[in-house]
Structure 1
């Protein structure tokens, strides 16, 4: 029996193909695949070929999903009905109450939207806005700028520096707000951030909020890593600017449930009804509703209690210890690296090795990561993927190449655990590679 896939070999070339290629050649908004997803697939392929790869390229929680939520998911697995576009009312109530307690911010259940991951919610918001300048830090998560372009918006990079801890300063925001003041400005604020793991201090954030308020800037606060602040001290942006902040979060990072694809968004009533109706319109014409069993499981995840507190506190302690050690080891090798505030990323800067790297034919961050993968088996992402200049020798390092279940079940320090051997060896592989003649 001939397989259907074999029949394509006999098909004539389609005239549609020529039109497609001609159209793509003229397009100015081509959207390449996400660098984070590509490095994950590349690492898998190299491992499958027998190479040893230290997988610091893809940022996925190493911890198991919160067990009570898994039990709820199993109990509701047979549910198959479409749910309300906005999300289960009971879940929205639970989410609003949760953030009201955890973040001390005034979430209203009727202004919560549940979506298939915060990534799509972010795009829905950008698409629902009138013409705007989307102000994106450099560095920032790889998908913000492509999403802005796909939505027909104008992406503007706000460059940050090592000395500024890779943060957008109030002065930088003030300067950009004075440019084309007639345009709506939307500041994307992700803290603790991807790719840096850093967050502003309270004073800086309050001054940033003051600038936003004075210029009527809409702030899109991507707080997906907020609950993984290593000291449990994350300050939600809506605490300082509640009337002008749209907040997104979800289960992927703090609940270890990236593949479940459940995100939440809060758009305050102070922003008016038109924006929220447009958000619901995008949702109804695209994802319709999030899977019923997942929403039921999220009800459990968003219920505070001692078990959830212990789960979060242990994650924070483990990530803080590992991230602090990685940063210290790289700093000792002359690779400037800020110790992280939260999440599981570092943003090392190899500038002090520029001359030595240049002698080896390495002048850009992409060349740096390619050589590290080829010659040391270390998978990283270049700073240029996050909006930084190509010649800036920065990389993103996701220090989660370990199985977190065992560490979650223990107490005390973790660096001596055999579970972290791969992580420690990966950092040492970077240092050894740098020291080669």
Structure 2
């Protein structure tokens, strides 16, 4: 009896072609720049890592102790999340943000990134996602992975890189210019303090934007992962202005320094109905199942308001505010327009005033600019195009976190001259000198 023949190369090739057809989602630019920086450092280069936005501060110590105490916990927990963990998150934000969150309206996940994706996956297939330009790198790829239509809402330096009520109204008016009724669900994604800009709307601007969202019956996804790190503690949850239509995400990665723990939380107001929440639970049960047991137990401690926790958060705010303000002033003085940050640990420098001088050196895009800055200055930034900006826009995101957060937390008073901030000072000085040399030549 003859042996069965191997599949023909033609059939194998056809299968491979089918598997590789279409556009694959590219790796996150923020993760790529981190890897590139590591490779350069491994080759002996000094790299100032302003590209990857990871908290420089140690995880809140009592939460670390709780994680260690529960390291042996191995049970699968409820898909929605441990009831005590959900109540801890809800109570924390009720007190800190003045929102009416209840544990039963919360869903926990291994990071808020999965929650953002789950919400988009739960939307009708003809929904449209409205994304500011610039905005965090993963919103648009996630929407495309969910086969949802996306539209960018252009922002400007003059609008402090925010979507305004007028610009949102104009964008929505474009959808009805044909005279045809367009009843598609629309999801507006907001993030403040913003990644990549470090900026927040004023309370008045937010109220105006919320009024437009209400008038057009938009669903708003408010990504408030940096809210607790508002530098003066004035963050205003979007749900306070539009409670009936705002889904909010948050987590431990930024204010608690626990990005690698992967703990995210989402609040879905009951007024949006049971069907949406049921779909979200279904997606969670078929994908991540539950957040790791020790991490949920640690979260119960991390979200307990105590004088120690308040001191930990407030000192982070003071440090980030001082460093961010100083860096923005230095860059602006060198001819690189930069808004001082409102929260988080990002700046969004605009090199547009240097366009002519840069063009003489063959630099006409944000990507070319950041590549030259890495090669000439040893400073890693991300181009604005990574955040949805046009390729030719000369903007970049600067994450001013390449410093010893533990050492700075142990201090009091001003920190800008602290030895632990040497790389930040050197990086800002290198960018400033680069700009000044351009202008002088």
Give me the TM-score of the superposition, normalised by structure 2: 0.94
Distance 1:67 1:91 in 2: 18
What's the secondary structure of 1:80's corresponding residue? coil
Match of 1:239 in 2: 240
| Closer, same or farther: CA 19–142 of 1 in aligned 2, 3 Å | farther
Contact 2:79 2:281 in 1 (8 A): yes
| Closer, same or farther: CA 13–418 of 1 in aligned 2, 3 Å | farther
Deviation (angstroms), 1:149: 0.2
| Closer, same or farther: CA 179–272 of 1 in aligned 2, 3 Å | farther
Match of 1:164 in 2: 159
Match of 1:129 in 2: 123
What's the secondary structure of 1:134's corresponding residue? strand
Distance 1:177 1:248 in 2: 24
How many residue pairs end up in the alignment? 426
What's the secondary structure of 1:243's corresponding residue? coil
1:44 aligned residue (38, 52, 55): 38
Match of 2:343 in 1: 342
What's the secondary structure of 2:374's corresponding residue? helix
> Structure 1, residues 59-113: CA drift from partner, whole Å, max 9, x if none?
0000000000000001000000000000001111111111111110011111100
Contact 2:117 2:142 in 1 (8 A): yes
Distance 1:339 1:156 in 2: 28
The answer to whether residue 95 in structure 2 is matched with residue 101 in structure 1 is yes
| Closer, same or farther: CA 353–292 of 1 in aligned 2, 3 Å | same
Deviation (angstroms), 1:176: 2.0
What's the secondary structure of 1:186's corresponding residue? strand
Contact 1:177 1:185 in 2 (8 A): no
Contact 1:340 1:346 in 2 (8 A): yes
The answer to whether residue 429 in structure 2 is matched with residue 428 in structure 1 is yes
Extract structure 1 runs of 4+ deviating beyond 6 A.
12-17
Contact 2:335 2:435 in 1 (8 A): no
Contact 2:334 2:433 in 1 (8 A): no
Distance 1:424 1:18 in 2: 54
Distance 2:383 2:242 in 1: 33
Distance 2:396 2:8 in 1: 42
| Closer, same or farther: CA 17–30 of 1 in aligned 2, 3 Å | farther
Distance 1:429 1:410 in 2: 26
What's the secondary structure of 1:221's corresponding residue? strand
Deviation (angstroms), 1:179: 3.6
1:380-399 aligned at under 5 Å gives the runs 380-399=381-400
Distance 1:158 1:53 in 2: 34
What's the secondary structure of 2:407's corresponding residue? helix
Match of 2:260 in 1: 259
Match of 1:151 in 2: 146
Distance 1:213 1:290 in 2: 33
The answer to whether residue 35 in structure 2 is matched with residue 22 in structure 1 is no
Match of 1:9 in 2: none
Distance 1:274 1:14 in 2: 48
Distance 1:101 1:94 in 2: 11
| Closer, same or farther: CA 429–301 of 1 in aligned 2, 3 Å | same
Deviation (angstroms), 1:152: 1.1
Match of 1:363 in 2: 364
Deviation (angstroms), 1:202: 0.4
Distance 2:301 2:229 in 1: 18
Match of 2:179 in 1: none
| Closer, same or farther: CA 79–430 of 1 in aligned 2, 3 Å | same
1:38-77 aligned at under 5 Å gives the runs 38-77=32-71
Contact 1:225 1:254 in 2 (8 A): yes
Give me the TM-score of the superposition, normalised by structure 1: 0.95
Gaps of 5+ in 2: 1-6, 177-182
What's the secondary structure of 2:244's corresponding residue? helix
Match of 1:5 in 2: none
Deviation (angstroms), 1:435: 3.4
Distance 1:112 1:318 in 2: 31
Deviation (angstroms), 1:17: 6.5
The answer to whether residue 207 in structure 2 is matched with residue 213 in structure 1 is no
Contact 2:29 2:386 in 1 (8 A): yes
Distance 1:42 1:114 in 2: 32
Deviation (angstroms), 1:363: 0.2
| Closer, same or farther: CA 74–25 of 1 in aligned 2, 3 Å | closer
Contact 1:24 1:30 in 2 (8 A): no
